[in-house]
Amino acid sequence: MHAWPASEVPALPGSGRDLRIHDTATGGRVTLVPGPVARIYVCGITPYDATHMGHAATYNAFDLVQRVWLDTKRQVHYVQNVTDIDDPLLERAVANGDDWAELAERETALFREDMTALRMLPPRHYIGAVESIPKIVPLVERLREAGAAYELDGDIYFSVGSDTRFGEVSGLDAEAMRLLSAERGGDPDRPGKKNPLDPMLWMAARPGEPSWDGASLGPGRPGWHIECVAIALEHLGMGFDVQGGGSDLVFPHHEMGASHAQVLTGEHPYARTYVHAGMVALHGEKMSKSKGNLVFVSALRRDGVDPAAIRLALLAHHYRADWEWTDAVLHEAVERLGRWRAAVSRPDGPSADALVEEVREALADDLDSPRALAAIDRWAAAQAAGGGTDEGAPGLVSRVADALLGVAL
């Protein structure tokens, strides 16, 4: 699949700082020191509806991670998937009388437009589940040969008991895992499973549903977790720097992904850090396609909202916080954008040399974007108060906002 066009990232004077970030697996903060090529996998959308503010907030968090790395003069190798075949996509297609493949293609195209408008850096590899099937099948076969997978009425399950490290990503107990598994695509109550938590690797073809050649597995379609593992192992390999996604993916998705990969390769870790963004809510409930309480990026854009204001609305919240989307959040972002644009449109202003370091430090400190915004707010206020004759300052502030925050002034 093709990704979307990259917006240019201006270079800044001096050099950036290593990122100290909260790692779900250890429950603490780690200093990430990637090699010259930093490697990140971020779980992509299931394209049965448009990009909502929750998705955008999660992708914003991982865009910041990359901007911090680029500022340290590293290259970034970024991979993202598209879950273009899965139960919710098929269900929505049936409900709407739509063709599932057309629905997926249409929503993925809209997602690309939204990401471009928000100045999110594109992945180097943007890969669909369907196009990955030839990579997924051999992995499932290998797991079965290794005794880590078993068959149940034609479906193939992964045995969580085959991974001695199972549970290390989420740190949850069995009961909590069981509840989340039932909530998030698992089938803990299906009779005949070795462990209720065992996730499906390959689903045998169902009547009326699309299916693909699974070689020795028989015709069917891939499970969710093995999809991301196949794509990450193909394009990043083991031990990549960050596995990212929203906090709703901690369990089962990222736990199972780590287990699949660790059993497949005999190596540890799958990812060096597991980083999770908080959930965005609307009217007191997590924004979700299944509940339908959504604010779409594309709808705001159609209403004439500047994408830079949408981006500022996301940045005003710490990525790990759960927060609520309201009109006031957007209103405040629109006002801030106006103040910043007015401040950088003047021919000179207060020196911004210290500001570069303040924004760098805020982001290196577990992506503290609210603090980064506050630093630019202070510069804009000093500018409005008429202090300073540094001719390079307005341009430098524009470059900082663009390079580190993805905000075009």
User: Which residues in this chain contact ligand 5CA in the complex, by CB under 6 A?
Assistant: 43-46, 54-55, 57-58, 81, 83, 228, 245-246, 248-249, 277, 279-280, 286-288
**Shortest CB 402 distance to ligand 5CA, Å:** 24
Counting every residue, how long is the chain? 409
Specify the residue, 38 or 42, whose C-beta has the smaller distance to Zn ion. Answer: 42
Specify the residue, 107 or 368, whose C-beta has the smaller distance to Zn ion. Answer: 107
**Shortest CB 273 distance to ligand 5CA, Å:** 15
> Could you tell me which of 9, 63, 34, 116 has the C-alpha nearest to residue 244?
63
Say whether residue 403 binds Zn ion (CB under 5 A): no
Candidate ranges 56-64, 86-94, 221-229, 385-393; the one touching Zn ion (CB under 5 A): 221-229
Say whether residue 65 binds Zn ion (CB under 5 A): no
Sorted by sequence, the CB contacts under 8 Å of residue 180 that are 6+ apart come out as 172, 186, 251, 252
Say whether residue 43 binds Zn ion (CB under 5 A): yes
Residue 269, preceding peptide bond in cis (omega within 30° of 0):
yes
- Other Cβ atoms less than 10 A from the Cβ of 141: the count is 18
Number of residues that bind Zn ion (CB under 5 A): 2
**Shortest CB 82 distance to ligand 5CA, Å:** 7
User: What is the token pair recorded at 216?
Assistant: 């020795």
Specify the residue, 229 or 401, whose C-beta has the smaller distance to ligand 5CA. Answer: 229
Residue for token pair 């603090």: 371
- Other Cβ atoms less than 10 A from the Cβ of 102: the count is 10
Among ligand 5CA, Zn ion, none, what does residue 197 contact (CB within 5–8 Å per kind)?
A: none
Sorted by sequence, the CB contacts under 8 Å of residue 330 that are 6+ apart come out as 300, 305, 309, 310, 313
Considering only residues 56, 64, 228, 250, which one is a binding residue for Zn ion as defined by CB under 5 A?
228
Indicate the angle between helix axes 353-364 and 369-384, nearest 10 degrees.
160
**Shortest CB 54 distance to ligand 5CA, Å:** 2
- Other Cβ atoms less than 10 A from the Cβ of 328: the count is 10
Main-chain phi, psi angles of 38, to 5 degrees: -80, 140
**Shortest CB 287 distance to Zn ion, Å:** 18
**Shortest CB 291 distance to ligand 5CA, Å:** 9
Residues that bind Zn ion (CB under 5 A): 43, 228
